Amino acid sequence: MSNDGELEALYPFLHGRRQDPGRLQAALLGSVTEKARDSRDTNERFFTEQAPLLVTIARVMADCFRANGRLLAMGNGGSSCDAAHVTVEFVHPVTAGRPPLPAINLTADIAQITAVGNDVGIEHIFARQIGALGCTGDVVVGLSTSGNSANLLAGFAKAREMGLATVGFAGGDGGRMQAGGLVDHCLVVPSRSIHRIQECHVAAYHIIWDLVHTLLADDRGSAMTRKASA
């Protein structure tokens, strides 16, 4: 909330009194307006600043898929849901006429994650999978609102060791993901709000997905021509 009065209206029990229904309703409506405005402003700033990088990342991924590579995605908590979301977008495209592309959600195998986490430490859960599953030409994508998740940084380090392309999604100042030099391309949302950061991340990977298919459209056309003439 923007001031102490609004905070007190929403949380009067912290000040020893009950909520006033009228003030509460006004404060709630004001909160909706303020948060929606902040979301729009953050989104506009992010995409204005990051548009060229979004195109670069889409080209990296398109080149990966052209070479029969795969996308490997990782994240923790809410960002693990984003890792799942981005992979299903590529494997199961919702737009007619766009073919599935290979993507692996590194947060999906609970037995693998708990085994590695229990035996050698949670910071190794992604690095172990990348070491076992990653192949030349693959792209590793990691999402972290802070940019400081130790297991993502370890995963990026393993990917760098293997010569894989890396793409990071972060917020704030990008954290260690931005500063550590392990990520080839890092999208940073200029906000400290986890919600605003995640909102931009979702929109960003939806846009990247669309750009990748646009970049691959000519390749699909060539493949269909070859198939028809065979």
Any domain includes 32: no
The pLDDT assigned to 28 comes to 92
Return the higher-pLDDT residue of 95 and 11: 95
The pLDDT assigned to 142 comes to 98
Lowest mean pLDDT among 27-31, 49-53, 143-147: 27-31
Quote the crossing angle between the two packed helices 21-66 and 194-229, to the nearest 10°.
30
Residue pLDDT, tens place only, 172-205: 999 999 999 999 999 999 999 999 999 999 999 9
- Find the domain containing 215 and state its range: 50-229
Quote the number of domains for the chain.
Answer: 1
- Looking at residue 10, its amino acid is L
Contact predicate 182/160, CB 8 Å: yes
Q: Which residue has the tokens 């550590």?
A: 180
The pLDDT assigned to 94 comes to 87
The pLDDT assigned to 225 comes to 42
Q: What tokens were used for 151?
A: 């297991």
Residue 191 is part of a domain; what is its CATH number? 3.40.50.10490
User: Rounded to 5 degrees, what angle do the CA atoms 184, 190, 194 make?
Assistant: 100
Residue 143 CA to its chain's centroid (Å): 4
Any domain includes 40: no
Please report which residue ranges of the chain form alpha helices under DSSP H.
Answer: 4-10, 21-66, 78-91, 110-119, 125-133, 150-162, 175-179, 194-229
Half-sphere exposure at residue 123, Cβ-oriented, CA atoms within 13 angstroms: 6
The pLDDT assigned to 58 comes to 98
